[in-house]
């Protein structure tokens, strides 16, 4: 994706631009982002951060136009905070970040005084091929801007050091246990490993044994092939 994606503040005074799109792994896009003051043409480039997505999911302006927030990832690796909701105070030229383990599936709503986070992943419905959990969407959570640690934009290159001791939030669906499975248990190893893993987690002993055999064969499992690829053809005992 070579083109740029632009998002304008409610008062049309600022523009956030997404560019330099990359796909570090399948179905996951990241890009650089910058903020332009349309009155002065001053531009702030937010390197070394990368925005998650293509400039739409999770992005938000506050109603008064003073704040902008978006999910970001920091890539150096090691013992670092890697995923956050980045909040920028435009008037004060300060930034803050709220860390999560799963920003890819969260959505942020930037208000004038708080950031509201929504769990936005797909909650699976009944599936006849493998068991599914009874999951419920959690209520949105809020973070008061007065409670955040704010840093001047000149410190952005030190983002990792500033956040290495930050709290990492877990925001997941409510697990109500397994739904009753009414389909057929795996009868042979001609079963997708993804499905087999679900049956093993569900508690099917035969699936647990076959999945353990697959794990013993490789530490880089391709979950989208049949188990027979790793352990040969077998039938349920």
Distance CA 110, CA 65 (A): 10
**Residue 128, Cβ neighbours under 10 Å: how many?**
8
Say what the pLDDT of residue 236 is: 93
Whether 189 and 209 have beta carbons less than 8 Å apart is answered as no
- pLDDT-derived band at 123, boundaries 50, 70, 90: low
In the predicted model, is pLDDT for residue 201 greater than 80? Answer: yes
- The helix/strand/coil state of 218 is coil
Summarised one tens digit per residue, pLDDT across range 135-160 is 889 999 999 999 999 999 999 999 88
Distance CA 133, CA 121 (A): 14
Mean pLDDT score of the chain, rounded to an integer? 89
* Residues recorded for the chain: 237
Say what the pLDDT of residue 58 is: 80
Summarised one tens digit per residue, pLDDT across range 50-99 is 998 887 778 899 999 999 999 998 766 545 557 899 999 999 999 999 99
Say what the pLDDT of residue 77 is: 54
Task: Name the nearest CA neighbour of 117 among 136, 135, 95, 139.
Answer: 139
- pLDDT-derived band at 190, boundaries 50, 70, 90: very high
Q: What is the mean pLDDT of residues 184-196?
A: 95
168 or 116: which carries more pLDDT confidence? 116
In the predicted model, is pLDDT for residue 39 greater than 90? Answer: yes
Say what the pLDDT of residue 1 is: 53
Q: Which helix (H) or strand (E) holds 225?
A: none
Contacts of 32 (CB under 8 A, 6+ apart): 18, 19, 20, 45, 46, 47, 50, 51
In the predicted model, is pLDDT for residue 195 greater than 80? Answer: yes
Task: Record the pTM.
Answer: 0.77
Q: What is the mean pLDDT of residues 14-32?
A: 85
- pLDDT-derived band at 27, boundaries 50, 70, 90: low
Residue corresponding to tokens 């079963």? 191
Residue 18 β-bridge partners: 5, 33
Distance CA 90, CA 209 (A): 56
Whether 153 and 189 have beta carbons less than 8 Å apart is answered as no
In the predicted model, is pLDDT for residue 114 greater than 90? Answer: yes
Kindly state the percentage of the chain with pLDDT values over 70. 92
């Amino acid at each position: 994706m070579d083109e740029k994606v632009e998002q304008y503040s409610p008062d049309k005074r600022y523009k956030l631009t997404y560019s330099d799109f990359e796909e570090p792994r399948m179905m996951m896009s990241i890009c650089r982002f910058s903020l332009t003051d349309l009155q002065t043409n001053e531009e702030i480039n937010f390197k070394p951060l990368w925005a998650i997505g293509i400039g739409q999911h999770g992005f938000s302006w506050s109603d008064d136009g003073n704040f902008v927030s978006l999910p970001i990832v920091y890539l150096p690796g090691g013992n670092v905070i890697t995923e956050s909701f980045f909040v920028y105070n435009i008037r004060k030229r300060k930034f803050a970040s709220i860390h999560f383990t799963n920003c890819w599936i969260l959505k942020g709503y930037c208000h004038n005084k708080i950031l509201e986070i929504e769990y936005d992943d797909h909650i699976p419905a009944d599936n006849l091929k493998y068991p599914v959990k009874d999951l419920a969407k959690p209520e949105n959570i809020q973070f008061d801007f007065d409670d955040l640690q704010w840093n001047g934009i000149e410190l952005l290159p030190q983002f990792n050091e500033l956040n290495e001791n930050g709290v990492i939030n877990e925001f997941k669906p409510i697990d109500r246990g397994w739904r009753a499975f009414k389909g057929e248990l795996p009868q042979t190893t001609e079963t997708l490993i993804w499905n087999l893993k679900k049956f093993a987690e569900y508690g099917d002993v035969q699936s647990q044994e076959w999945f353990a055999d697959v794990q013993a064969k490789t530490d880089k499992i391709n979950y989208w092939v049949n188990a027979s690829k790793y352990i040969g053809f077998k039938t349920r005992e």
